[in-house]
Copies of this chain bind each other. A is one copy, B any other.
């Protein structure tokens, strides 16, 4: 049976220092024999202890996998299950075991009325988000490798076919239903998609001086930028206001700095607004947008007489 002393013992050993049975016995005011029996018990319930016998020996615990219990109140529990609902939209979440632990084990241990409330939340709360259908089962492994700054080997399928690749992942990020992996390969940082990676495995090589993804993202933000100014129609402005890409300064005009490399990407984005936006600056973006529009319109050229 788990009593207070055994719990405390577990936590003391978690500090990863070494303790002799005598020290522990004195600390708790019990006999050494009792301590030994406690340690026995802890081992049987799975706490990873080990002992060094002989002079200078003692007991230690491996980095412990048993966390202290989390005691929530009802509204915190409700919040947790709402969070779980949000999680449903993010497929292949790393360390995703938490999902089933909460949904199955913890849920069933809750009081009945709390369960009812949780069930009812589902009727009244939703998160609308593009959920990817493409599975990316290796996210946990990739994240682990990034945290250990360890090299990965994987098969990567791109338009050119499948290639076995090795790279150091910087981290993992989720955007619009997709997991992306910036990774260092041969001195260059490339962006991989996690769902196109297969047979991922960690290699032995590590690179301690590897930058973190956080640093990389910051650096990406610092690239050369171009002044862009857009003019929306009143309707376009209303649409744009609900799109957080554009923080409108005045009602119908947007000004901002955009990395030079992203102009083609921005041009495609602006297509969405069709006639509701006009590019004032820079000319390069003007012609990109105009070019795309012309190409698109050509597809419908022979419809002209019908629609006009």
Task: Mark A266-307 against chain B: 1 for CB-CB distance below 8 A, else 0.
Answer: 001101111100100001001101111111111110011011
B-chain residues with CB within 8 Å of residue A76 when the two chains form the complex: 67, 95, 97-98, 101
- Distance of A186 Cα from B79 Cα, bound (Å): 31
A199 at the interface (CB under 8 A from B): no
For window 165-203 of A, CB contacts with B under 8 Å fall at 170-178
Task: List the number of copies, as a whole number.
Answer: 2
The number of chain A residues touching the other chain, given as a range, is 35 or more
With known contacts A79-B94, A297-B297, A290–B271 Cβ distance under 8 A = no
Contact partner, A113, options B16, B69, B99, B245, Cβ 8 Å: B16
For window 223-279 of A, CB contacts with B under 8 Å fall at 238, 241-245, 247, 268-269, 271-275, 278
**Cβ-defined contact, B271 with A274, below 8 A:** yes
B-chain residues with CB within 8 Å of residue A125 when the two chains form the complex: 94, 143, 171-173, 213
**Cβ-defined contact, B272 with A287, below 8 A:** no
B-chain residues with CB within 8 Å of residue A75 when the two chains form the complex: 95, 97-98, 140
**Cβ-defined contact, A74 with B69, below 8 A:** no
With known contacts A124-B212, A126-B171, A66–B73 Cβ distance under 8 A = yes
- Give 20 CB contacts A-B under 8 Å: A14-B111, A15-B112, A64-B113, A66-B73, A73-B97, A75-B98, A76-B95, A79-B95, A79-B97, A82-B94, A83-B87, A86-B90, A121-B147, A123-B213, A124-B143, A124-B172, A125-B172, A274-B295, A275-B292, A287-B303
Q: Which 7 A-B pairs have the closest CB atoms?
A: A124-B171, A79-B98, A79-B95, A275-B295, A69-B69, A130-B244, A290-B300
